[in-house]
Structure 1
Amino acid sequence: MATSTLPGTTRKSTHRGAQGAGGRLAAHAFLLVLTVAFLAPVAWALLSAFKPANLIISDPLVFDPRTVTLDNFRRMLADVPLGLGFLNTGVVLLVKGSLTLFFAPLAAYGFAKYDFRGKNLIFGAVLITLMLPTIVLIIPLLLQMKELGWVNTYQALILPGAIDAFAIFWMRQVIAAVPDELLAAARVDGCTEFGIFWRVVLPVIRPGLAGLAVLTVMNIYNDFVWPVVVASSDRMATLQVVLSTLAQNISGNRIGADYATVTGELLAATSVAILPLLVIFIALQRHFINGILSGSVKG
């Protein structure tokens, strides 16, 4: 039996399709403009780091490949203890990140899958700490570090904030979506409670854990306020603290350094510091997006 399509229906469908294509085009154009706006400063800093110092000031918006030089990087490495900053940041990142990625999901597992007296009250108290500004906690934490004799030590840089309230909240939302039937089946098979967490829950929540790992790396890597307060010695300075004192270090090591020289070395150091984050985010962006989506729905 032959079927016929009404002309009006065809025109409406075509019109809707054109509207949909136009909307997608407008959305892509808007996102492209946002991408350019966000990446333009980063691209300018990276390219300017390879320009002669005097051209950074005289022609800041012009990049001539014929003038590419590594002088800014050579002078910066001679004037600034960037390697020590990377070392301290790497130690803090490895240990503190490991603590966060192990204990936060473990605590979240307890809140998500166990019923005990005062659970909601304790979880509410954890969430309340998210509302406290960091500046409010600095003085009490600093006094505790002084009493413990941990000022200017790795312990002070690593332990405060290692078990993050946001990380617990994030992982609780992710673990809550794990079917209870999986846990019950593991218990029937004789698995211990920690074994259930390690062998059943962790493999299921890997996308959410990967998303948390990206956020944790970025937060620790970019942390400045607490390290600059608790690690005042140059020996324990993290990368962000080193970057904050670049101008003073350059001027102190290079007497009479002009504004152009200082700016060139600042851009070189910033370019070196930003590259690890760019590489990590580009490499793990798919896991980061999947991790965000895994915690956005329950059930």
Structure 2
Amino acid sequence: MITLGRIGRYGFLLLVAAVSLFPLMWMVLSAFKPGGDVIARPFAFDFDQLSWTNFREMVHTIPIGTGLRNTMIVVLVKGALTLLCCPMAGYAFAKFDFAFKRALFGTVLTTLMLPTLVLLIPLLLEMSELGWVNTFPALILPGAVDAFGVFWMRQIIAEIPDELLDAARVDGAGELRIFRSVVLPVIRPGLAALGVLTFINVYNDFVWPVVAVNDTGHQTLQVMLSGLARAAVVGQLGDAASAWGQLLAASTVAAVPVLIVFVLLQRHLIRGVMAGSVKG
């Protein structure tokens, strides 16, 4: 039955959705507008004049293909390390008793409270000593075993009944077999959610890549976008209107992978968040 209250709730949700989606839709449509119209008529759209000009000029301005390739390499390798190590660490903290367990877990949680800027100089000095500056290991290894991922997995695995694990041990299964055959299938929603969150965080990361890498061959997409925005602001690209059109085109290209991942995996993200919202 349709009631006035339900109509009001749905109307409010539609309003919130429209406000949230408007900047994204404006960016995408403006990327296809002529450069002059982006500044002269920012909120006017003539669909007869939409073209791919900004995208063609953007390709010649920055090596966006290289940026996408570098970003995907970092996302895939770093994400794989996160999804491999964090569940194993979470399993150990949730289901094993060992010396200094609480102290170690408390130390892991403490790292969550450290601002990223505090770690930049020590990490950069470490990468320099290892000779990894301007390399993929510098982009991938720091933060691959994320404290939030360990905490997330620990909270989810803690809800698995000990009787289920004990039954597997009685049947002669070793701990690795139990982890692979019993724990992983149970925590699959939470693991999928961690994968989505890791993808978004690594894909959007800017601060560490801009510090660790300064050559174009290893720059990630976010660093290239920042360079393009800086060039547009200071007028290094000549025509200001064309520069902002290229920036909107590059931003649209950069948003596509995140949107695809979210649309395809939003159900797993919601299920994983619900699975992780438990007391451990």
Give TM class, smaller chain: over 0.9
Q: Report the AA paired with residue 276 of structure 2.
A: G
Q: How does 1:111-190 map to 2 (within 5 A)?
A: 111-190=93-172
- Percent identity between matched residues is 56
Residue among 234, 246, 255 paired with 1:265: 246
Is the contact between residue 79 and residue 250 of structure 1 (CA under 8 Å) also seen in structure 2? no
Alignment of 1:1-16 (within 5 A): none
Q: Residue 251 of structure 1: CA displacement?
A: 9.4
Distance 1:25 1:175 in 2: 41
- Contact kept? 1:207, 1:287, Cα under 8 Å: yes
* Aligned mates of 1:122, 1:115 — CA distance in 2: 12
Match of 1:238 in 2: 220
Distance 2:125 2:6 in 1: 55
Larger Rg: 1
Q: Which residue of 2 aligns with 1:14?
A: none
CA distance in 2, matches of 1:251, 1:125: 43
SS in 2 for 1:245: helix
Matched, 1:226 2:208: yes
Counterpart for residue 80 of structure 1: 62
1:179 to partner: Cα distance:
1.5
| Pair 1:48-2:30 in alignment | yes
Give 2:271's aligned residue.
Answer: 290
1:6: which partner in 2?
none
Compare 116-125 and 266-275 and name the one that shifted more. Answer: 116-125
Measure the CA separation in 1 of the matches of 2:207 and 2:142: 13
Are the counterparts in 1 of residues 232 and 240 from structure 2 also a CA contact under 8 Å? no
Whole-angstrom CA distance in 2 between matches of 1:128 and 1:156? 23
The one-letter code of the counterpart of 1:231 is V
Displacement of 1:249:
5.9
Paired residue total: 280
Letter aligned with residue 264 of structure 2: A
Aligned residues of 2:209 and 2:223 also touching (Cα < 8 A): yes
**In structure 1, what is the Cα distance between the partners aligned to 2:237 and 2:256?**
30
Counterpart CA distance in 2 for 1:287 and 1:24 is 27
Conserved 8 A contact 2:237-2:243: no
Over residues 187-244 of structure 1, what are the superposed CA-to-partner deviations in whole Å (9 max), with x where a residue is unaligned?
A: 1111110111111100110000011010000000000000000101111100100110
What is the CA–CA distance in structure 1 between the aligned matches of 2:129 and 2:153, rounded to whole Å?
Answer: 33
Counterpart residue number, 2:17: 35
Q: Does 1:198 align with 2:166?
A: no
CA distance in 2, matches of 1:282, 1:168: 26
Residue 27 of structure 1 deviates from its aligned partner by: 2.8
Q: Give CA deviations for 1:81-121 in whole Å, capped at 9, x if unaligned.
A: 10111111111111100000010010000011111121111
RMSD: 1.9
Give the Å deviation of 1:24.
3.6
Runs of 5+ consecutive residues of structure 1 not aligned to the other structure: 1-16
Task: Report deviation, 1:61.
Answer: 0.7
The 2-side partners of 1:256 and 1:120 are apart by 55
Q: Does residue 58 in structure 1 map to residue 40 in structure 2? A: yes
Structure 2 unaligned spans of 5+: none
Residue 54 of structure 1, CA deviation: 1.1
- Correspondence for 2:83: 101
Deviation at 1:262, TM superposition (A): 0.3
Q: Residue 256 and residue 28 in structure 1: after superposition, are their counterparts in 2 closer, same or farther (change >3 A)?
A: closer
Which amino acid counterpart does residue 214 of structure 2 have in structure 1?
A: S
